């Protein structure tokens, strides 16, 4: 887990994991939080050797912090979990069974939901290629980035799942070089899913597993900062994976649209804050 002033939900997330009877270790990597919660969690569980807290002296970004934690992990499976995701022991057991079912399974995701049980559309996504992203942005008919249908209660293949909860073999994660640290925040999960598939492994979504996700606990107090890095992540993914990036005119249009969209959102973000 990575924390960055993530708030009280971090405590419950850690407590649930440590209450599990599954053989696990919890590695919390803190990106220079000022709220004191990671240190309080470490003090509260100082006698539990399964918890390790790593403190970064500045915010290194999500992917870089996960990579630091993964290097300290000793298990066969690596769970990347947001600090506002509340996962049950039975859910973990099911996801681990999914991972063990086939040697070609590279990454498993779950359906992340709000407090009322409504699934986040980002739980089941496609690669954000130029046409799909344009359809999503403009509300046009055709394939969009998020799937436009109900998530079935079964194990299904996906192009991408939510980075709020991702389970994969630790050896595969390390073989891929972990998260691409060029992404500071957002879209590194889409990038990882793409690279898993490029290496011949499957990305799966278990529709039976529904996990409550607070969404945005680390970002509510700095929406413009988060939005800037999200839009930068979109641009990086486009340049790295979309064949349309090789067309200079399309690349220019995409870059302009991404940053116009970012600027247009700032007034509303500051008003809500």
Q: How many domains does the chain have?
A: 2
Domain membership flag for residue 218: no
Domain boundary among 181, 213, 245: 213
Note whether residue 55 is domain-resident. Answer: yes
Within-domain flag for 118: yes
The DSSP bridge pattern shows strands 105-113 and 202-213 to be parallel
Q: Residue 37: inside a domain, yes or no?
A: yes
Is the domain of 54 the same as that of 72? Answer: yes
Same-domain pairing of 208 and 228: no
Q: Are 157 and 135 part of one and the same domain?
A: yes
Instruction: Look at residue 138 in the predicted model and tell me its pLDDT.
Output: 84
Contacts of 245 (CB under 8 A, 6+ apart): 238, 239, 251, 254
**Is residue 123 located within the same domain as residue 164?**
yes
Q: Do 34 and 135 fall into the same domain?
A: yes
Choosing from 213, 240, 259, the residue where a domain stops is: 213
Helix, strand, or coil here: 80? Answer: strand
Let me know whether 241 and 108 are in one domain: no
What CATH number corresponds to the domain at position 190? 3.90.550.10
Tell me, yes or no, whether 196 lies in a domain: yes
Under a CB-based contact definition with an 8 Å cutoff, are residues 179 and 64 in contact?
yes
Query: 24, 51 in Cβ contact below 8 A?
Result: no
Identify whether residues 265 and 207 lie together within a single domain: no
Last residue of a domain, one of 167, 182, 213: 213
Same-domain status, 229 and 204: no
Q: Name the residue range of residue 138's domain.
A: 2-213
Backbone angles phi, psi at 212, to 5 degrees: -70, 130
Domain shared by 208 and 241, yes or no: no
Please check whether residues 169 and 241 belong to one and the same domain: no
Residues 158 and 195 in one domain: yes
The number of angstroms, rounded, from the C-alpha of 133 to the middle of its chain's C-alpha atoms is 19
The tokens for 233 are 């992540």
pLDDT tens per residue across all 273 residues of the chain: 999 999 999 999 999 999 999 999 999 999 999 999 999 999 999 999 999 999 999 999 999 999 999 999 999 999 999 999 999 999 999 999 999 999 999 999 999 999 899 999 999 999 999 999 889 888 888 999 999 899 999 999 999 999 999 999 999 999 999 999 999 999 999 999 999 999 999 999 999 999 999 865 555 678 899 999 999 999 999 999 999 999 999 999 999 999 998 999 888 888 876
């Amino acid at each position: 887990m990575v924390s960055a002033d993530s708030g009280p939900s971090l405590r419950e997330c850690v407590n649930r994991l440590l209450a599990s009877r599954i053989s696990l270790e919890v590695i919390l990597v803190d990106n220079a939080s000022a709220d004191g919660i990671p240190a309080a969690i470490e003090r509260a569980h100082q006698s539990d050797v399964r918890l390790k807290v790593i403190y970064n002296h500045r915010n290194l970004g999500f992917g870089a912090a996960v990579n630091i934690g993964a290097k300290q992990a000793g298990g066969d499976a690596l769970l990347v979990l947001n600090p506002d995701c509340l996962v049950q022991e039975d859910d973990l057991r099911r996801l681990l069974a999914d991972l063990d079912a086939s040697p070609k399974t590279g990454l498993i995701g779950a359906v992340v939901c709000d407090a009322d049980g409504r699934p986040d559309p980002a739980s089941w996504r496609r690669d954000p290629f130029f046409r799909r992203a344009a359809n999503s942005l403009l509300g046009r008919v055709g394939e969009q980035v998020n799937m436009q249908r109900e998530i079935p209660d079964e194990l299904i293949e996906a192009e991408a799942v939510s980075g709020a909860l991702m389970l994969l073999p630790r050896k595969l994660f390390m073989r891929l070089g972990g998260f691409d640290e060029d992404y500071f925040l957002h879209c590194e999960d889409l990038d990882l899913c793409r690279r898993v598939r490029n290496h011949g492994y499957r990305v799966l979504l278990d529709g039976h597993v529904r996990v409550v996700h607070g969404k945005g606990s680390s970002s509510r107090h700095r929406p413009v900062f988060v939005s800037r890095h999200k839009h930068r992540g979109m641009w990086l993914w486009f340049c790295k994976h979309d064949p349309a990036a090789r067309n200079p005119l399309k690349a220019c249009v995409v870059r302009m649209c991404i940053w116009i969209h970012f600027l247009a959102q700032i007034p509303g973000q500051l008003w809500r804050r």
